[in-house]
Amino acid sequence: MDERRGVDEHDAVAVAERVASGRASAREVLEESLARVARLDPPLNAFSVVLAEAARAEADARDAAQAAGEPLGPLHGVPVAVKEELDVAGAVTTYGGEANSAAASADAELVRRLRAAGAVVVGKTTMPEFGAFPFTEGASRGLTRNPWDPSRTPGGSSGGTAVAVATGMVPVAVGGDGGGSIRIPSACCGLFGLKPQRGRVTAAPQPHLWWALGTTGPLARSVRDAALVYDVVRGSLPSDLHHAGEAGSFVEAAGRGPGRLRVGWSVRPVTRGVRPHPEHVAAVHDTARLLAELGHEVREVDPRYPDPTAAFVPQFLAGIRSEAELVQHPERLERRTRETLRLGAWVTPRVREAALRRTRTVSALANRVFEGDGAVDVLLTPATAHRPARAGVLDGRGTVASSLLALPSIAYAALWNVAGNPAAAVPAGLASDGLPLAVQLVGRTDDEPTLLSLSAQLEAARPWSFPPAS
């Protein structure tokens, strides 16, 4: 269905209001979600596992609590899904492969917080093994397909999450972003995806997600949904390697105007040798004009991007190794994963620590665009360089070839994982191929509120639609 964001029946906020008002029970909403999964998922492959009976028991518990007059959380009765790399009690944390067999004994802290807010966990979503590439496909889980065009990829590595939300199988779902893995599938599937500030969301029970690169968060059908989920799950623990600064209420930020901002735009990729698709360039130009019409000061800038390679690649390889060390059956790892681990053997702890030091330097250089004379409040760029690739693009390819194919997807995104800044993929209409367009908004350190306010303003001025088949 081609619903507009403002009247979306699958919006998480709308679902929570529907249950809280008594117009539907948590069980009824869950059954609607499970029916959509059963109808839509088989050809798309968004879910790696559906926890139907556990979810029914959880929904019944939500209804019993409501009947008893207990306080309702902000996500009361809302069905959610969780990316495979996060622990869900009673389910195997597969990391997208077959190398684990024992179910997790406890929820990851983020999942615990979702449940505490009243959410109902429907299942876990597909990802490439260890999230290594921005295409959701692999030997174990097969191909996950874009609901706008099943011959195309939904991006990755949170591709299953994106498909589940774009089709309304669940109103909102959690992904992870170590090099663009929230923003890339959001861009491919027409969703709002905010990578938060490094350290904004806890990685517990792990101390980090790919050292300084990764974080987790929702892929959402609306800005207000993303803000609501972030206000539920945000906050670090002493065990976390990184901790973000103060930022205020995200829900309040999404509900207020951004004021007059200085917006700088650039279509220059961070990655050399990559040329952006003309329609991605046009989307930036169109968004810049719209922002000017909305009263912002908008101008082209030269971000003077630093090269993040020496900081990114060692942490990427060390991050995959740290997750591979957690699995119970390493002999079951996919061939490409084993090759990646062999190729990454040069990343010793000393090399990794040097990369972390380089991260601080890259962050300082990347943030020059937000500082001094000519500073901007927000940087506007393409979200990705190329259109969504065909599904199965990695078939038969090794680590090096797969990494080269990934470069256009991460050309604008990965720098901000190294720098740590918040960055969001915001829908920008449809391209001539019928698939979504998106732009990226990058904010100052700890300034998710400005990105949420500005994104909500764009959402109101330029509503977007969901896949017709949904």
Active-site residue flag, 140? no
Among 25, 33, 140, 157, the one annotated catalytic: 157
What would the two tokens of residue 271 be?
């990655």
Longest dimension (CA), the chain: 62
Spot the catalytic one: 83, 140, 363, 455. Answer: 83
Find the catalytic residue in 140, 181, 236, 363.
Answer: 181
Neighbour tally for 102: CB within 10 Å? 9
- 83 flagged as catalytic: yes
202, 199, 15: which is closest to 110 by C-alpha? 202
Alpha carbons 187 and 67: distance in angstroms, whole number: 40
Residues paired with residue 82 on neighbouring β-strands, in sequence order = 124, 174
**Cα separations in angstroms, 101 against 98, 132, 326:** 7, 21, 12
236 is catalytic: no
Given CA atoms 328, 96, 233, 57 in this order, what sign does their dihedral have?
negative
What φ, ψ does residue 219 adopt, rounded to 5°? -105, 130
* Measured distance CA(17)–CA(24) in Å, rounded: 9
Least Cα distance to 47 among 147, 131, 144 occurs for 144
Going by the DSSP 8-state scheme, the letter that residue 196 receives in this structure is P
The CB density around residue 414, as the number of other CB atoms within 10 Å, is 29
Residues with a catalytic annotation lie at: 83, 157, 181
